[in-house]
Amino acid sequence: MKKIIYLLVLVLFTACSSEPQPIDYGKDNCDFCEMTIVSKAYAAQAVSEKGKQYKYDAIECMVNHQLQHNYEMPVNLVANFEQPGTMISVNEANFVINDSIKSPMGGNLAAFKKESAVVNTESKDIFNWQELKTIFLENDSLTTSY
């Protein structure tokens, strides 16, 4: 009986983990647009307080999903464009919107570590997480073309 209780407790704790699960590129689908997540340079993921995993093929999908459902996630990660497959917190990232960036959903959006030389320039195309969400709210659309 003790083994069964121990096993149930163990399952409950692992099921409610707020640790992000790795994205299985080429197999996992985006929780917003349902496309297969293939690009390691544009992916994003979030984890709710209860441990529900959300995976996205593009940063713009994560932003739109959270804004449309009024979600505030304790864990929000985005792919570092300079190191595809490496996820960084949205608080450690700056976001660049530029026509030269071809993200999967057409938002021309990528994330870079704040220390990156790419984002250490004077440009109107560089935003922090809060500014990015504001742009999406103002444009009220799937893409961020502004």
Q: Which residue has the higher pLDDT, 36 or 117?
A: 36
Over 50: is that where the pLDDT of 143 sits? no
CA atoms within 13 A on the CB side of 105: 28
In a domain, 30, yes or no: no
Which string of b and e fits 37-74 if b means at least 16 CB within 10 Å?
beebbbbbbbbeeebebbbbbbbbbbbbbbeeeeeebe
Q: Is residue 5 part of a domain?
A: no
Asked whether residue 15 is assigned to any structural domain, the reply reads no
Average pLDDT over every residue of 81-98? 95
Q: What pTM, to 2 d.p., does this model score?
A: 0.81
pLDDT at position 35 over 80: yes
Q: Domain count of the chain?
A: 1
- Classify residue 38: in a domain, yes or no: no
